[in-house]
């Protein structure tokens, strides 16, 4: 079946937020944190699970892209059960990963190594109970003998339900760090570090209320050389984001503040959007944005989003 989707957006306007205060979603920890510093967070990340696959990924990395490994899961864990894993609150080793991104241009390659880990994850008692029960259902379906009689549709359904349960009813804290290099030669020893960053994400997804909160803090600094003169800058950033989604409504809001420690200035913005789905192919959209800096800029957008779909 081929689907052709044509989107007509009746609301045409440019985003008026300052470049000095990026969107909080642009700073959220991704698979390879180095991609955030390089401004290339949409690049796909290869995740090899064996040393052999990792070696192949490194070879392919010469052409650009990113690779991330989780050493803890390269070894069998026969004594680690699902219930024991979700009950663990401190997951530094289990979730620790190393990454390397290669952002290529016409004349050079910029390497961006990084790490990330989920320091803390706490599920509510009711969510733990629901996840354990759902996992037992899945185990019962998989225990059918012979294996050829396993109901794959049931396995897919229960797995999806288990993944959905794991997304809410928890508080988690993630840490990450990355470096951005500026190649000045053909050897690794000639790579200069011109940007660095460390940041943390704190999120809370309630069990029964469909509203998620995300808080972020990042400290970043740059070291650049212009005409053989070194220049430096340091920034401290913090922000918060929340979203609420139902079958009809979708609401998102975020606030981000960037402090230029050298210039002793703040750059920040507040934004919010509301989408109401009138039908499957028709939605009303409203958006609001405000730069909180000298010469405040305000953008308020309203419109209708039409979607036409044809299948054959």
Give the tens place of pLDDT for each residue, 45-65.
888 888 888 888 888 888 888
Strand 65-69 to strand 45-46: parallel, antiparallel, or no bridges (unpaired)? parallel
- Residue 107 burial (CB count, 10 A): 6
* Rounded Cα gap, residues 32 and 113, in angstroms: 8
* Rounded Cα gap, residues 240 and 269, in angstroms: 11
What domains are defined for the chain?
Answer: 3-124+169-311 (2.40.160)
- Residue 97 burial (CB count, 10 A): 21
Following DSSP, what letter does each residue of 19-69 receive, concatenated? TTS--HHHHS--SSTHHHHHT-TTS-EE---SHHHHHHHHHHHTTSEEEEE
Two structure tokens written together for 207: 């069990």
The per-residue pLDDT for 210 is 67
Q: Given a cut of 70, is residue 305 above it in pLDDT?
A: no
The per-residue pLDDT for 23 is 59
The per-residue pLDDT for 227 is 46
**What percent of the chain lies above the pLDDT cut of 70?**
76
Give me the chain's average pLDDT, please: 77
- Residue 140 burial (CB count, 10 A): 11
The per-residue pLDDT for 158 is 94
């Amino acid at each position: 079946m081929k689907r052709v989707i044509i989107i007509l957006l009746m609301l045409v306007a440019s985003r008026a937020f300052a470049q000095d205060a990026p969107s909080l979603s642009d700073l959220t920890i991704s698979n390879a944190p180095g991609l955030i510093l390089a401004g290339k967070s949409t690049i796909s990340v290869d995740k090899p699970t064996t040393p052999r696959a990792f070696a192949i990924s490194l070879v392919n990395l010469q052409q650009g892209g990113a690779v991330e490994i989780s050493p803890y899961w390269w070894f069998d864990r026969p004594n680690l059960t699902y219930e024991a894993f979700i009950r663990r609150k401190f997951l530094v080793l289990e979730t620790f990963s190393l990454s390397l991104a290669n952002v290529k241009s016409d004349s050079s390659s910029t390497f961006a190594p990084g790490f990330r880990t989920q320091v803390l994850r706490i599920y509510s008692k009711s969510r733990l109970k629901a996840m354990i029960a759902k996992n037992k259902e899945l185990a019962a379906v998989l225990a059918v003998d012979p294996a050829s009689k396993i109901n794959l549709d049931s396995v897919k359904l229960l797995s999806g339900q288990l993944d959905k349960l794991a997304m809410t009813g928890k508080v988690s804290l993630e840490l990450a760090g990355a470096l951005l290099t500026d190649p000045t030669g053909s050897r690794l020893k000639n790579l200069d570090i011109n940007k660095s960053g460390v940041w943390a994400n704190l999120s809370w997804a309630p069990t029964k209320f469909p509203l998620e909160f995300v808080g972020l803090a990042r400290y970043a600094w740059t070291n650049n050389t212009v005409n053989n003169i070194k220049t430096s800058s340091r920034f401290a950033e913090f922000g918060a984001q929340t979203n609420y989604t139902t079958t009809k409504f979708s609401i998102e809001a975020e606030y981000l503040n960037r402090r230029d420690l050298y210039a002793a200035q703040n750059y920040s913005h507040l934004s919010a959007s509301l989408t109401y789905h009138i039908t499957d192919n028709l939605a009303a959209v409203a958006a609001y944005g405000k730069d909180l800096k000298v010469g405040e800029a305000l953008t308020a957008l309203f419109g209708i989003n039409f979607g036409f779909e044809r299948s054959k």
